[in-house]
Amino acid sequence: MLTKSQVLTFKSFQQMISDLEAGDQVELHQKIRSLQMFFQDKIQSIESDDYQLRSVLVEINKQMRLLSVDGMFLQTARQANTIETRLGQIRDRIKLLTQYCSMILEADSH
């Protein structure tokens, strides 16, 4: 079970994730860095005895690391095909992270 503060933190995190979908490559890279910092400061430290919550937090951690790598690769991409591939990977990670946040918030509301 999350505290009210943690629920608000996850809602903010989820909003930041959805904000990633707008903007150009430079702006996207900056948003990913901001999201990573928010994650490290606010989410990564959440601990729980709930096995399901811990499992989802581990997956979020993994996807955040991969998103960060994708953002760096996108920044160095020059060819249109490579850029499109990286953006596709980032969109997939955004979708997964959004689903994970929804799972956590829905489980907490029960």
What pLDDT does residue 48 have? 83
State residue 106 phi and psi, 5-degree precision: -70, -40
What pLDDT does residue 23 have? 75
What pLDDT does residue 107 have? 86
Collect the ranges in the chain with pLDDT lower than 70: 110
Spatial CA neighbour of 8 closest among 42, 44, 52, 53: 42
What pLDDT does residue 8 have? 95
Distance in angstroms (rounded) separating the CA atoms of residues 37 and 34: 5
What pLDDT does residue 110 have? 67
Describe the chain by its helix, strand, coil percentages, rounded to 5.
85, 0, 15
What pLDDT does residue 87 have? 93
In the chain, how many domains are there? 1
What pLDDT does residue 92 have? 96
CATH assignment at residue 51: 1.20.120
Model pTM score: 0.91
Domain span at residue 26?
4-109
